[in-house]
Amino acid sequence: MRLGCIGDDFTGSSDLANTLAKGGMRTVQYTGVPDVPAGDDVEAGVVALKSRSIAPADAVAQSLQALEWLRAQGCEQFFFKYCSTFDSTPEGNIGPVADALAEALDAHKVIVCPAFPGTGRSVYQGYLFVKDRLLNESGMQNHPLTPMTDPDLRRWLAPQTRYTVGHIPAATVFAGAGDISRSLEDLHRAGHRHIVVDAIRDEDLFEIGRAAKGLPLVTGGSGVALGLPANFGAVASQVPWSGQSGKSVALSGSCSLATRGQVAHHAGRHPAREIVAADVIEARLTPEEIAAWLVETDGLPLVFSSADPEAVATVQETYGRERSSEALETFFARVAALAVAGGATRVISAGGETSGAVVEGLGLTTLEIGPEIDPGVPALRARRDLVVALKSGNFGAEDFFEKADRVLAGKS
């Protein structure tokens, strides 16, 4: 293994694995830290953690454990993957994990770049945009776990890290990899360890990737990984895939604007059933009931708890944020497990926390990377008779669920 990656959630990790596989690297995604060595043919390994919203000390411990395993596989460079909307709080977990990894690797010019132009995320003058909106005006300010209320990445990262934060502006990035490398060195000499790098086009990400050659640690969204495979001699290629026949089910727990639009679109054309959080928390609704409905319903049935910010806030005020989130994640994990036990062979999940719960509920440990469904979302083979799609909340076209099912089935 040459490139070792640590993702702070499961959907983001599959997003990164998709980017590396398209770039020509033989890539495998692992759920949690493996207890056995990787295969000899794996060039890039992505260890998917569920560390984005846990206590910072726990996130650091898990990330360092993943780093230890990846180092043992012989990796030459390491990548810390977080969301392209920089999901975090003033306490972490991006800063604490980046600090710990940088210290463990003695890395002193650490690129910070969540940009992903293919999904509308760009960084300009250190500010993060979602399409034509600043991050804090994009809907992310209403995220139930990591509300993003400041688009200035330097200012948002500063309280999370023990180190000062530098910045490389777009004009330098446009000048190419050489200028980026020189600016990284200049900022390092000025005492900065973490360095926010602007990027508004895929071309920028490829130049940042070239400048990252030889750096021990790179951090960012999957976009900045576009330029990394070439540093290892990889050549972009089509990812092989064999579709899976059988029964499809879809689950959504994301409350993002994009997913709510996808849910509304799908519900107008296919069977759909809303999961009311209070019914789950107070045990008026069981996973057995919902799983049976999914398996017995023809077509592509969807169950969803995706609600608007006001409804989410009401649930959290009534039951507490941690209790309500844990109850829904546990519920979706059990529903997924029962649906697969009942015959489902294609599972589509929307939302980072929901997808993490689904992966854990199904006991998935290794995921083979398939073709891209939408930017940042690949098809994944979990077992000989099971394929999945794990979508981050803000990703995907309006007809994502239909499109995902076609790709998983090998029809598109």
| pTM score, whole prediction | 0.85
- Sign of the four-CA dihedral 149, 152, 158, 160: positive
Q: Are 14 and 367 in contact (CB under 8 A)?
A: yes
20 CA to centre of own chain: 14
DSSP state of 240: P
Say if residue 334's pLDDT is above 90: yes
DSSP designation for 388? E
Q: Give the residue among 113, 262, 109, 107 at the shortest CA–CA distance from 173.
A: 113
pLDDT at 11 over 90: no
- Cα 357 to Cα 275: distance, rounded to the nearest angstrom: 16
In the prediction, which pLDDT does 321 show?
A: 79
Give the tokens for residue 154.
């330097």
Give the pLDDT band of residue 2 (cuts 50, 70, 90).
very high
- What local confidence, expressed as pLDDT, does residue 324 receive? 86
- Cα–Cα distance for residue pair 118/101, rounded to 1 Å: 28
In the sheet where 133-134 sits, what is the strand order? 121-124, 127-130, 133-134
Is residue 405 within 8 A of residue 348, CB to CB? The reply is yes
Torsion of CA 19, 21, 25, 31, to 10 degrees: 90
Q: How far apart are CA 345 and CA 324, in angstroms?
A: 29
Cα angle: 252, vertex 242, 83; to 5 degrees: 40
Cα–Cα dist 407/412, whole Å: 5
Rounded Cα distance between 238 and 254, Å, is 30
Q: What is the pLDDT of residue 71?
A: 98
172 Cβ partners below 8 Å, 6+ apart? 179, 180, 183, 198
Nearest Cα to 391, choosing from 222, 252, 223? Answer: 252
pLDDT digits (tens, 9 = 90+) for 225-274: 999 999 999 998 888 899 999 999 999 998 888 999 999 999 999 999 99
Tell me which residue has tokens 């309006």.
Answer: 398
pLDDT computed for residue 66 by the predictor: 98
Convert the pLDDT of each residue in 31-46 to its tens digit: 999 999 999 999 999 9
Predicted confidence (pLDDT) at residue 114 exceeds the cutoff of 80: yes
Closest CA relative to residue 152, chosen from 168, 169, 129: 129
- Structure tokens that stand for 87 in this block: 């999901």
Length of the chain: 412
Domains of the chain, CATH where assigned: 3-231 (3.40.50.10840), 247-408 (3.40.980.20)
Residue 306 has a pLDDT of 77
SS3 365: coil
pLDDT value at 412 more than 80: no
Average pLDDT score, the chain: 95
CA–CA gap between residue 411 and residue 390 (Å, rounded) = 18
- The crossing angle, in degrees rounded to 10, of helices 321-341 and 309-319 is 110
User: pLDDT (tens digit, 9 = 90+) per residue, 280-299?
Assistant: 999 999 999 999 999 999 99
